[in-house]
Amino acid sequence: MRLLYYTTSYYANHGGSIQSIEFYKQLDNIPMIKEKAIFPPKVKKEFRVENESGEGLKNKLKAVSLFQVIFFFRRSEFYMKALEDKIRKFEPDVLFMQIDSNFLQIHKIKNNFPDLKICTQINGSPFDEPFRNIAFKNKFQKLQRKAYIEADLNIFISDYSRSSIMGDKLDKIRDIVIHNGTDTEKFFPLNKKQKLRKELNYNKESFIIGYIGTLDHHKKLEILIQSFADLKTQFTDLQLVIIGDGPAMSKLLSKVSQLNLEDSIEFRGWIKHDEINKHLNSFDLAVHHYANTYMNPLKIFEYLSAGLPVIAPRIPSVEKMFKDGEDLLLTSPDEKELKKHLFNLITDEDLRKKLSNKQHLIASMESNFTWKKYTERIVEAMANIK
């Protein structure tokens, strides 16, 4: 099989890049893949800007519903000519598209290359986040559904996402769910917390709550910060470490300053993915308290693989895969429940040990939820297209 992978997330500074990078790397381990190529070789600057937040005129225009229509149709023209040239030159058997807001391209590609198999990798709908305020939203959602009906195979990250996007047009052969994975060679228990804290310049005596991820506005990190602030009045040795960067950084720094918690809440910025496991193993617990309903958060897998007690969002994909109170603690996005879980984990060492001693879960992840398994399942599904 000759596979052309079309993804702009490969170059991004968010979790989608890990998914793209790991999938593309794992293709080398699959005998069925005779040759692979990635497209585009780099991302246009103006396309990257489309996904960023800011105060400039362009970003303000993108918040206006009618202008979102213009920007959306403009996105459908990005890379189109270059993609068609690449298809003619590379002659793939399968085009695998990681969808951002480019689904209108499916129809054009099908018309121009009727024998090419088109598969999509769908992490959500553009109308959930970047184009959530678009004018004529219902019409665009129908266009989205129509586009995926034309594809030969659609891979969703959760049942919820598949059902909400496809509705009554869902076809369980064409539209399948394959959950995200982790790299258990990168994320695993190290059992040398004090040594790592010294190496990474963490306070050896603090109880450290950790969060890793892109600092987007929709991640609701202000809830975590406020919960931490309330608990800090009871537990003086608490520290919150936030690793990552993003458009919400300045807002979060301002909130921390208002709460006078600059000495207790540390922002470490971006850290190389290969270095993350050391930081995870320096934490006492890890939090990913909020995710949109359709998501299947990558960080949950990484936290659990490192053997940490984890607080995770109560969303369908996480509820389906893990047991609340046994594998992790599930929370709704409100401050009250999150604070209760944090308090229980801070004060209950037995609970922390219970949620850290998950050899059965780690073994299950090693055999079922690795990026290798994720990639194998996708390629197998591609091979079975009629």
Domain boundaries, the chain: 2-181+370-383, 193-368
Burial 359-380 (b: 16+ CB within 10 A, else e): eebbeebeeebbbbbbbbbbbe
pLDDT at 365 over 90: no
CA pair distance 93, 117, nearest whole angstrom: 6
CA dihedral sign of residues 246, 204, 324, 306: positive
**Sorting pLDDT into bands at 50, 70 and 90, what band is 361?**
confident
pTM of the full structure? 0.90
The pLDDT, as a whole number, for residue 63 is 76
The pLDDT, as a whole number, for residue 145 is 98
Give the strands of the sheet with 35-39, arranged side by side.
35-39, 2-6, 94-98, 117-122, 153-156, 175-177
Token reading at 273? 């993915």
User: Per-residue pLDDT tens for 112-140?
Assistant: 999 999 999 999 999 998 899 999 999 99
**12 phi and psi angles, rounded to 5 deg:** -90, 165
**Are 76 and 102 contacting, i.e. CB atoms less than 8 angstroms apart?**
yes
**Are 187 and 205 contacting, i.e. CB atoms less than 8 angstroms apart?**
no
- C-alpha dihedral over 19, 22, 25, 27, to 10 degrees? -70
DSSP-derived 3-state class of residue 383: helix
Q: What is the mean pLDDT of residues 315-324?
A: 93
CA pair distance 163, 156, nearest whole angstrom: 10
The pLDDT, as a whole number, for residue 159 is 95
User: Per-residue pLDDT tens for 3-52?
Assistant: 999 999 998 766 668 999 999 999 999 999 999 999 998 876 555 534 44
- The answer to whether 2-181+370-383 and 193-368 have equal CATH topology is yes
Taking every pair of Cα atoms in the chain, the longest distance, rounded to a whole number of angstroms, is: 65
User: Per-residue pLDDT tens for 220-273?
Assistant: 999 999 999 999 999 999 999 999 999 999 999 999 999 999 999 999 999 998
Architecture category of domain 2-181+370-383 in CATH? 3-Layer(aba) Sandwich (3.40)
The pLDDT, as a whole number, for residue 13 is 66
The pLDDT, as a whole number, for residue 52 is 43
List of E strands, the chain: 2-6, 35-39, 94-98, 117-122, 153-156, 175-177, 207-212, 238-243, 265-269, 285-287, 310-313, 329-331
Distances (CA, A) of 239 to 249, 264, 268, 340: 18, 5, 13, 17
**Are 127 and 134 contacting, i.e. CB atoms less than 8 angstroms apart?**
yes
Q: In terms of DSSP bridges, do strands 207-212 and 238-243 run parallel, antiparallel, or are they unpaired? A: parallel
The third-level CATH classification (topology) of the domain covering 193-368 is Rossmann fold (3.40.50)
List of E strands, 53-113: 94-98
CA pair distance 135, 63, nearest whole angstrom: 11
User: Per-residue pLDDT tens for 67-81?
Assistant: 899 989 998 999 999
Token reading at 321? 């895969």
**96 phi and psi angles, rounded to 5 deg:** -105, 110
DSSP-derived 3-state class of residue 12: coil
